[in-house]
Amino acid sequence: MHVETDETTEPVRMMTGKDDKFRPDNKFYGRIKGVRLSARQAGLVEDLLPKVRVDLSQPLSFAQNDVWLEIGFGGGEHLAWQATHNLQTGIIGAEPFINGIAKLLVAIAENGLNNVRIHDTDARTLVPAIPDGSLSRIYLLYPDPWHKQRHRKRRFVNDETIGQFHRMLKPGGLFRFASDIEDYVNWTVSFIDRHGGFDYAGNCPADWRQPFEDWQQTRYEKKALREGRQPSYLSFVKR
């Protein structure tokens, strides 16, 4: 059943033209389409997605004071759970994979979620448009690790993105990162240390083995555990 979004809820709007250096080559690496969508999913993509899509044509504005961003939400399990349990929080999800978008749209429709907005393309086109100090949390969960040495430049975490995260977060805001790839965990820590604008939430690396207190398991984590890989959960606080 198609549930309409609340017409009284102010949409999230985006603007373009700021910090284009964040997108040096404008290339996106990764899948944008998988198996054929079901009739219901296709209908939601056609009817519901335009109503919850982030509008890049106008300056951004939020209806909520507390706004979170999840970059690469996959199948939307974590984002939908957080939106359901934090109805007063606005949550923006960035994901170009249409099958994952369709799954999140089903969750939005079934749960009547009015606090979710979707950016259905490369997150690098969204991040520069978000105003300074406007987010309370940023999630980057199980990003593509790009294992090969020559492909590591494609990793989402780099000096520029960490700088952008720091810019977007409010003082005391959280950047939460999860991965089952130890090399990517160490990679992320190195960029955080080099930036110098974050404190660690946790007393020691052993704390990183414990899921976040409000964690909702994703399909990627389930796969990692089945295959014997230990995930890490890192939280960094903006100074």
Active-site residue identified among 120, 144, 159, 214: 144
Which residue type is seen at 148?
A: K
pLDDT greater at residue 27 or residue 6: 27
pLDDT recorded at residue 155: 95
Q: Measured between alpha carbons, how far is 168 from 156 in angstroms, rounded to an integer?
A: 16
Q: Measured between alpha carbons, how far is 46 from 165 in angstroms, rounded to an integer?
A: 32
Q: Measured between alpha carbons, how far is 119 from 122 in angstroms, rounded to an integer?
A: 8
pLDDT recorded at residue 34: 57
Q: Measured between alpha carbons, how far is 211 from 141 in angstroms, rounded to an integer?
A: 12
Q: Measured between alpha carbons, how far is 3 from 227 in angstroms, rounded to an integer?
A: 38
Beta carbons of 93 and 121 less than 8 angstroms apart: no
Annotate 152-171 with DSSP letters as a single string.
Answer: GGG-S-SHHHHHHHHHHEEE
The whole-model pTM stands at 0.84
Residue range 97-145, pLDDT digits in tens: 999 999 999 999 999 999 999 999 999 999 999 999 999 999 999 999 9
Would you give the DSSP letter of residue 56? T
Residue 20 a catalytic site member: no
Percent of the chain at pLDDT > 90 equals 70
Element holding 200 (H helix, E strand): strand 198-200
pLDDT greater at residue 24 or residue 104: 104
Answer whether residue 4 shows pLDDT above 70: no
Q: What is the mean pLDDT of residues 19-29?
A: 45
CATH, range 20-238 = 3.40.50.150
Q: Where are the domains of the chain?
A: 20-238
Q: What is the mean pLDDT of residues 26-40?
A: 65
Ramachandran assignment for 228, one of left (phi > 0), alpha (psi -120 to 50 degrees), beta (any other) = left
**Model confidence at 23, in pLDDT bands (50, 70, 90)?**
very low
Which residue type is seen at 140?
A: L
**Model confidence at 36, in pLDDT bands (50, 70, 90)?**
confident
Closest CA to 239 of 167, 153, 146: 167
Residue range 155-207, pLDDT digits in tens: 999 999 999 999 999 999 999 999 999 999 999 999 999 999 999 997 677 78
34 alpha carbon, distance to own chain's centre: 20
